[in-house]
Amino acid sequence: MTAETLRKDGFGVDKMFHCFVAEDTDLKKLVGYALFFYNYSTWEGANVYLEDLYVTPDYRHGGLGTRMWREVAKVAVERGCNRLDWVCLDWNKTSIDYYKSKGSTNLSETEGWNLFRLEGDKLKEFSKD
């Protein structure tokens, strides 16, 4: 990943994602971001996928991450999306408990969904006829 790729994909003609950023205006320093994109379910229609929510360590536990997460949720509601999806590593119990406390459902527990990935050379190989 390069800065140029991020600029092109997020801010070019064909945007691949959207992003909220948090800045410490006194220091003129980026301290967090929420990167998301739209996807579509044949069962439920339009959705938002939160790809990454990050707050630098010195700025955590002050509500910044929650505010950015809420802004993504607002976009989803305003755009008529039916759900907001994301993944969380199973060892991150603090975040899992927090997400659940806000009404989120862990689909691994409730529906048994498995997340798969096809990448790199295996993706290229599979894409061939």
Question: Active-site residue numbers?
Answer: 99
Q: How far apart are CA 51 and CA 15, in angstroms?
A: 15
**Residue 17 backbone phi and psi in degrees, to 5:** -155, 170
Q: How far apart are CA 108 and CA 99, in angstroms?
A: 14
Q: Are 95 and 87 in contact (CB under 8 A)?
A: no
Say whether 25 sits in a helix, a strand or coil: coil
Nearest 5°: CA angle at 34, between 30 and 36? 140
